[in-house]
Structure 1
């Protein structure tokens, strides 16, 4: 596994800085949560790493420079991401979605026919994500949480080594959030995860480390306990010190 290393990473839109000199290291096997107020630059950071936002500075994954590379070239390096709204093929089954993501080169007619045997990577992803029982259900019929798990499964079948997940538990029930956290722990044993999240209960339960962004810069880093105790974090993100324990 490789380290994600960012140095002086900066992004500006129409002359307005969104990221301003971010330095960040995410070590192999980390389950890193990015938190911070709206507009802090969290999604823009992920966009920059995955080639969706032009950036300056340096971004490296292992021995590979990322800035200036296309989205597809970055993906081929083993980097994948999800979005706040799951992007799946809703008219196809769960298994077919995973099959497409795995890169099976089959005609549309063959794809739409029921397979008697799934590729091993697809079967493993179904088991890992807990979707084996709904493998033949159309993705559009899934519950909200299941769609997010499917999107994570689509990264698994591509053997993504660095997963960047944008608010994966937004809108989920308590049980779905818990199941998602346990899923992240399972898949995080063999890859590196960076998770954008606002739900501090979820962060407390599952984060191995936390980076707080504010106004496009790193405000604080450390364990959940260290970050929550930081007066600057309490002031700009968690709320006034007197209410921080309730909101964090």
Structure 2
């Protein structure tokens, strides 16, 4: 299992410093939450790690440097992400979505037929994301939370080792949030997980460590209790964040 090590990460847009010299260490198997007010640089940091924006500095996942590599190459190195809105193929079934993600080599026509056997990696993902009973259901008919779980499952079948999740519980019910937190606990047994989140209750319940970003810099870092007790965090974020949650 590999960890994430970021040094002096910088991203600028027309002179605006969106990420301004961030150092970040995420241990293997951690569930690290990135929190902070809007515009703090959280999503831009993840964009830099996954190759979507140009950045300077260094980003190592395990022994591999990620910066400067194209998006598809970073993905092949075991780095995967989700976005705030689930990107699943709504007109295909849950199983077909996982099949495509797994690169099973099936033709478009064979994807439309009910299959007699399921690859082990797909069946294991179905069990992990708790959608085995919905395997033949169209993804577009899933509940909101289930679509997010399916997207995580699509990363699991690609053997992603670093999961970067952008507000995975936005719009979820309380029960869906709890189920998502439990899923992150299972996934992190042999993967490293980074979560961008605004839901403070979800963070308090499921974060193992927390990094607070503000104006493109690391403001505070540590356990949930340590971060919540930090006067700087209370001043710029947690008070407002608690009201918004």
Residue by residue over 1:143-175, the C-alpha shift from the partner in whole angstroms, topping out at 9 and shown as x without a partner, is 100000000000110111100000000000000
The 5-angstrom pairing of residues 135-146 of structure 1 reads 135-146=135-146
Q: Which residue of 1 aligns with 2:118?
A: 118
| Structure 2 counterparts to residues 7-46 of structure 1, below 5 A | 7-46=7-46
Match of 1:200 in 2: 200
- Cα distance, 1:3 vs structure 2: 1.7
Structure 2 partner of 1:218: 218
Report the secondary structure of 1:146's partner residue: helix
Q: Supply the distance in 2 between the matched residues of 1:151 and 1:4 (Cα, whole angstroms).
A: 22
Q: Describe the shift of the 1:48–1:245 C-alpha distance in structure 2 as closer, same or farther (beyond 3 A).
A: closer
Task: Say which SS state the counterpart of residue 5 (structure 1) adopts.
Answer: strand
Note the C-alpha offset of 1:247: 6.8
- Cα distance in 2 for residues equivalent to 1:107 and 1:81: 26
Q: Please give the secondary structure, in 2, of the residue aligned with 1:226.
A: helix
In structure 1, the residue matched to 2:71 is 71
- 1:106 corresponds to 2:106: yes
Residues paired across the two proteins, number: 245
Structure 2: stretches of 5+ with no match in the other structure: none
What secondary structure is seen at the aligned counterpart in 2 of 1:211? Answer: strand
2:161 and 2:119 map into 1 onto residues whose CA distance is 20
* Unaligned 5+ runs, structure 1: none
**Alignment match, 2:57:** 57
Structure 2 CA distance for aligned equivalents of residues 121 and 238 of structure 1: 40
Deviations 1:187-238 (A, max 9, x none): 1111100000011110000000000000000000000000000000000001
Length-normalised TM-score, structure 2: 0.98
Q: CA deviation at 1:245?
A: 7.2
Cα offset for 1:239?
Answer: 2.2
Equivalent residue, structure 1, for 2:157: 157
Q: What is the alpha-carbon distance in structure 1 between the residues aligned to residue 106 and residue 121 of structure 2? A: 16
1:131 CA displacement: 0.4
How far apart, CA to CA, are the structure 1 residues paired with 2:244 and 2:88?
33
Distance 1:245 1:127 in 2: 34
CA distance in 2, matches of 1:161, 1:203: 21
Q: Which runs of 4+ in 1 moved over 4 A?
A: 244-248
1:107-153 deviation per Cα after TM superposition (whole angstroms, max 9, x unaligned): 11111111111111110111110101110001011110000000000
Contact 2:200 2:242 in 1 (8 A): no
2:137 is paired with a residue whose SS is: coil
